[in-house]
A and B are shown apart, each in its own frame.
Chain A
Amino acid sequence: MLQFLIRRLLAVIPVLFVVAVVVFLILRLTPGDPAAVIAGNSATLEDIANIRKSLGLDEPLLIQFGIWFKAILTGDLGHSFYYRLPVTELIGQRLEPTFMLALFTIVLAVMVSVPLGVLAAWRHGGWLDRGLMGFSVLGFSIPVFVLGYILIWIVSLKLNLLPVQGYKRIGEGFWPFVSHLILPAVTLAVIYIALIARVTRAAVSEALTEDYIRTARSKGLPEVRVLIKHALANAAVPIVTVIGIGIALLIGGVVVTETVYAIPGLGQLTVDAVLARDFPVVQGVILFFSVAYVLINLLVDLSYIVLDPRIRY
């Protein structure tokens, strides 16, 4: 078990190395010069050359990579070209809104989708089942930004119920904090509700055909207990797996959602950094997401031990 943990944590290193190389190369090989962006429209060629030199961009690629990679190993993600701040500090500042949005989204998605999936499996072929399947097709197909603007238009502009955009820290009051997160979380959650509900329905339907369900019923257990303690408990592994995948995919969704709702999180930071050719920030954020992704996967794998006693590492 401990050996498994150590082995998995060590496996993070080669993953991060590959991510680092790929991110680094993609950024350098795509057109666009950060020095030109920083220097602005009125700069001379000489100004730009000076800026390039000050940023270390005049060195050969291999040297640049070596410097950057050595710094990473000591926990230093470099300095932003644009903000003139350490990348770690930038990520720290922007982490909270993104984390809160992701948390709200995933909690909302799980709370809605798992019960829906279980009910749909229980009443297989019923109106709820068919309704849910229809909804999930819709949920999969509607783009996040379309849904986002529709929700803003109806809920905020027409009904005036929730703020249109922005983010408030939890220190600025609980309701302002929550009210600013509801719409983004709902927008982002729709696709996960569709995804998780479908998987839950399939896994629970399958579990419901098993012999131990018949045993549970023959014991005179109420249907709710049969569904939760026997069917859902046995269907948990695929459901948790897809929730894990969902959290990982969320990273992509957050970028668009934060833009639509003007939330100053990591998604916005990434978009701004890409537009500004702020290489260290883009590299840092992607590395950070990669670590998060690997850790989430590890957590999912570890959760299997709790969910299914037959699984041992």
Chain B
Amino acid sequence: MSRVVLDVSGLGVALPHGSDRAHAVRDISFSVNAGEIVCLLGESGSGKSIIAQTVMGLLPAHVRATEGQALLLGEDVLKYTPEQLRAVRGVRMSMIFQEPMTALNPVMACGEQVDEMLTQHTALPAEERRRKILDIFAQVKLPEPERIYASYPHQLSGGQRQRIMIAMALMLEPALLIADEPTTALDVTTQAEILRLIRQLQREHNTGVLFITHDMGVVAEIADRVVVLQLGKLVEQGTKLEVLQSPREAYTRMLLDAVPSLEPPELAHQPEAPAVAPVLLVRDLQKTYVSRNWFGRKREVDAAIGVNLTVERGETVGIVGESGSGKSTVARCIVRLIEPTAGHIEVLGQHMHGRSIASLKPLRKKVQIVFQDPYRSLNPRQTVGAAIIEGPMNFGASRTAAWQRAEALMELVRLAPSALNRYPSEFSGGQRQRICIARTLAMDPELLICDEAVSALDVSVAAQILELLAEIQQRLHLALLFITHDLRVAAQICDRVIVMEKGRIVEQGRTRDVFTHPQQPYTRALLAAAPGREFAFGHKHAALAPA
């Protein structure tokens, strides 16, 4: 029997007065053994990060643990003085974070940041410290450790930065590693590499890992045991197979069902024969960003090259790709939020390119876009109603007519029409995204572009929004261009998919064909990197795709 590294029992963390609930988490008990990965799984607001911060002693000043204990190697860290805590951080327990882009100090060389760990907790001479750091850089598979040592964070990629964080965290071989969504901000192929790395190092060093995530796929990849949390309460815990295959609680089942399956549904939706011009036709679209440095030297970046695509009425076309693939650039060029460098864009047979902003106006109405972050795409000082009627009124609708339409649209997106008089801050993320959809629909678009429209949402909420989009598309017979990095979402909602890499289309075809018989190595790599492939998630949601 391996030893218990972390034993949390009856943990409760109180929130300050005036919060939406009295306790961030309450009555939480679980343990992490040496050499074991325990996943804390939950949606936003479940309190999973609060638990990690409590154990590390990194809670914000006004939040504190009020009950229970958290034994790290048998000692209660909740009773530690700040000095004691400082002495064990990095030595017995360490932590890696979600955002590798911001988790490292931008003005300090990476080697130096790792070195701080050693100077603080050991008495090793400089020579020895440097050797150890280069050694661990090699272990986390950073290329050219010497160069990385002297590099600043901004000179490295997201994946490399996360490797630095892992190197730093494991430097002193802590008994417990807390990983707070360490791969959420990374591309899927990088995520697969980092997960493999954590797995491997954790086995080599026999580290106990507390892994916090909202992603079922990641759980399936990495967990030994799973603890499911909901709104600060522990729902259930068990081994990975128990929780993923035979969950006891309804909430866990719901979470599992909400994960879209990677397998596209059998009965692919048949778009009607293109009797009329396609809703969207893009030929040889190119977008090149030119920047000049101080000496007038030109630097060109091709964000999109030679992009061809069409979207028919009633059809959903997905563009999938990793960050930097150019998928959002294409979307923004189509709606002319940015100017394409070259190419031909037609909406309903009318040219979009080469037109003045003024003459674009009637076409703009026909093309609407839903953005990724519903927290930032609504004006916080404008009521929901005002946001929705603004567009139609710009096109000459009377206020009363626009308002009546807004009320009907609120019902369509399953919100109460009375909510029109409230402000965005009064709504949850999912509700806000529904409002954004209603806002675009108010313009009676022919083409709806969704740019990562469900990426910022919890899985259960995302499932609802996808369902809503599919239903609306059916009812209104819209053409839908769906941009996403999430292959599972694409598999479920798209009739056709386009795979982009570094500004170019590498593969396109019927979703089912692309997912079951990918032709290009890049597509195969993307599919192979999707976490949790061996678990068939989301069976129930086969019905989600337009049938």
Among residues of B, the one whose C-beta sits closest to the C-beta of A237 is B107
Asked if B227 is an interface residue, CB under 8 A from chain A, the answer is no
Report chain A residues within 8 Å CB of B254.
none
Partner of B89, one of A212, A218, A225: A218
Q: Which residues of A contact B95 (CB under 8 A)?
A: 215, 218
Interface check A169, CB cutoff 8 A: no
CA distance A308 to B174 in the complex (A): 32
A310–B107 CA distance with the chains assembled, in angstroms: 8
Contact residues in B for A211 (Cβ distance below 8 Å): 97, 99, 102-103
Contact string against B for A residues 200-244, beta-carbon threshold 8 Å, 1 for contact and 0 otherwise = 000000000011101111111110010001100110100000000
Rounded to whole Å, the gap between the CB of B471 and the closest CB of chain A is 39
Distance, CA A313 to CA B294, complexed state (A): 6
Complex interface: chain A residues within 8 A of B86 (CB) = 220-222
Interface residues as binary, B80-106 with A (CB distance below 8 Å gives 1, 0 otherwise): 000001111111001101010011111
Whether B78 is near chain A, meaning CB under 8 Å from some CB there, is no
Minimum distance in angstroms from A292 CB to a CB of chain B: 25
- Shortest beta-carbon distance from B148 to chain A in Å: 14
**A295 close to chain B: CB less than 8 A:** no
Q: Which residue of B lies closest to A213 (CB)?
A: B105
Closest A residue, CB atoms, query B102:
A211
A289 within 8 A of B: no
Indicate if A17 sits at the interface (CB-CB under 8 A): no
Q: Does A307 contact B (CB under 8 A)?
A: yes
Contact of A218 among B87, B94, B102, B105 (CB under 8 A): B94
Chain B 105-129 per-residue mask, 1 if CB under 8 angstroms from chain A, else 0 = 1111100000011001100000000
A214, B97: Cα distance in complex, Å: 9
Q: Is B149 an interface residue (CB 8 A)?
A: no
Question: A216–B108 Cα gap in the complex (Å)?
Answer: 12
**A252 CB–B CB distance under 8 Å:** no
Cβ-based interface call for A4 (8 A): yes
A3-B295, A210-B102, A220-B121 given; A215·B97 CB < 8 A:
yes
B104–A215 touching, CB < 8 Å: yes
A215 to chain B, nearest CB (A): 5
Complex alpha-carbon distance, A20 and B541, angstroms = 77
* Closest-CB distance, A300 to chain B (whole angstroms): 17
Interface string of B52-80 (1 = CB under 8 A from A): 00001010000000000000000000000
Are B154 and A309 in contact (CB-based, < 8 A)?
yes
> Is B462 at the interface (CB under 8 A from chain A)?
no
Q: Mark A1-34, 1 if CB is under 8 A from B, else 0.
A: 0011000000000000000000000000000000
Determine if A215 and B103 form an interchain contact, defined as CB atoms under 8 angstroms apart.
Answer: yes
Contact status of A230 and B105, CB under 8 A, knowing A309-B152, A310-B152: yes
Name the A residues within 8 Å of B222 (CB-CB): none
Which partner residue on chain A sits nearest B104 by CB separation?
A212
- Asked whether any CB of chain A lies closer than 8 Å to the CB of B8, the reply is no
A309 to B156, CA, bound (A): 13
Q: A interface, how many residues as a size bin? A: 20 to 34
CB contact between A215 and one of B91, B105, B107, B295 (< 8 Å): that residue: B105
Q: How large is the interface on B (under 10, 10 to 19, 20 to 34, 35 or more residues)?
A: 20 to 34
Q: What B residues does A308 contact at CB under 8 A?
A: 106-107
For residue B165, CB closer than 8 A to chain A, the reply is yes
Q: What B residues does A230 contact at CB under 8 A? A: 105, 108
Measured CB to CB, the closest approach of chain B to A212, in angstroms, equals: 4
Determine which of A217, A236, A309 lies in contact with B58 in the assembled complex, contact meaning CB atoms within 8 Å: A217
Which residues of the other chain, B, contact A234 by a CB distance below 8 angstroms? 105-107
Contacts of A216 in B (CB 8 A): 105, 116
Expressed in whole angstroms, the Cα–Cα distance for A282 and B103 within the complex equals: 54
Closest to A3 in B: B295
> In whole Å, how far is B169's beta carbon from the nearest beta carbon of chain A?
8
Instruction: Report the minimal beta-carbon distance from B483 to chain A, rounded to whole angstroms.
Output: 27
Q: Is B51 an interface residue (CB 8 A)?
A: no
Say yes or no for B229: interface residue by CB 8 A criterion. no
A202–B253 Cα gap in the complex (Å)? 48
A3-B295, A307-B107, A308-B106 are contacts. A217–B89 as well, Cβ < 8 Å? yes
B168 contacts the other chain (Cβ, under 8 Å)?
yes
- Cross-chain contact A233 with B97 (CB below 8 angstroms): no
Residue from B88, B104, B105, B295 with most neighbouring chain A CB atoms (10 Å): B105
Given the known interface contacts A210-B102, A212-B102, the answer about A220 and B88 at a Cβ–Cβ threshold of 8 Å is yes
Residues of chain B lying within 8 A (CB to CB) of residue A233:
105, 107-108
In the bound complex, residues from chain B placing their C-beta under 8 Å from that of A222 are 86, 120
Of A215, A219, A309, A310, most B-chain CB atoms within 10 Å: A219
Whether A219 and B58, one on each chain, are in contact in the complex, defined by CB atoms closer than 8 angstroms, is no
Chain B residues whose CB sits within 8 angstroms of the CB of A219 once the complex forms: 89-90, 94, 116-117, 120, 168
Nearest-CB residue, chain B, relative to A124? B61
Query: A residues within 8 A CB of B165?
Result: 215
* Closest beta carbon of chain A to B50's beta carbon, Å: 14
Nearest CB of chain B from residue A303's CB, rounded to whole Å: 13
Q: Find out whether the CB atom of A218 lies under 8 angstroms from the CB atom of B58.
A: yes
Quick one: which of A216, A218, A225 has the most chain B CB within 10 A? A218
- Assembly CA distance A234 to B107 (angstroms): 6
The listed residue (A3, A212, A313) touching B105 by CB distance below 8 A is: A212
- Kindly list chain A residues whose C-beta atoms are within 8 Å of the C-beta of B152: 309-310
> Bound complex: CA of A211 vs CA of B58, how far in Å?
12
- Complex formed: what's the CA distance from A233 to B109 in Å? 12
The residue in chain A whose Cβ has the minimal distance to the Cβ of B105 is A212
Query: Complex Cα distance A236/B168, Å?
Result: 25
Residue from A3, A230, A307 with most neighbouring chain B CB atoms (10 Å): A230
Looking across the interface, which residue of chain B has its beta carbon closest to that of A308? B107
Q: Do the beta carbons of B99 and A221 come within 8 Å of each other?
A: no
Task: State which of A4, A218, A225 has its C-beta within 8 Å of the C-beta of B56.
Answer: A218
Q: How far is the CA of A220 from the CA of B103 in the complex (A)?
A: 15
- By a CB distance below 8 angstroms, the chain B residues around A210 are 102
Bound CA span A301–B105, Å: 21
Q: How far is the CA of A234 from the CA of B86 in the complex (A)?
A: 22
- Point out the residues of chain B lying under 8 angstroms from A229, CB to CB: 105, 108, 116
28 contacts between A and B (CB under 8 A): A3-B294, A211-B99, A211-B102, A212-B105, A212-B106, A214-B97, A215-B105, A218-B56, A218-B58, A218-B90, A219-B89, A219-B94, A220-B85, A220-B88, A220-B89, A220-B121, A225-B116, A229-B105, A230-B108, A236-B107, A307-B107, A308-B106, A308-B107, A309-B106, A309-B107, A310-B106, A310-B152, A313-B294
Q: Given A3-B294, A215-B103, 11 other A-B contacts at CB below 8 A? A: A212-B106, A218-B89, A218-B90, A218-B94, A219-B89, A220-B120, A222-B120, A225-B120, A229-B116, A233-B105, A310-B106
Instruction: Report the 10 A-B pairs with minimum CB-CB distance, sorted nearest first.
Output: A220-B89, A211-B102, A220-B90, A212-B105, A309-B152, A218-B95, A219-B90, A220-B86, A211-B103, A215-B103
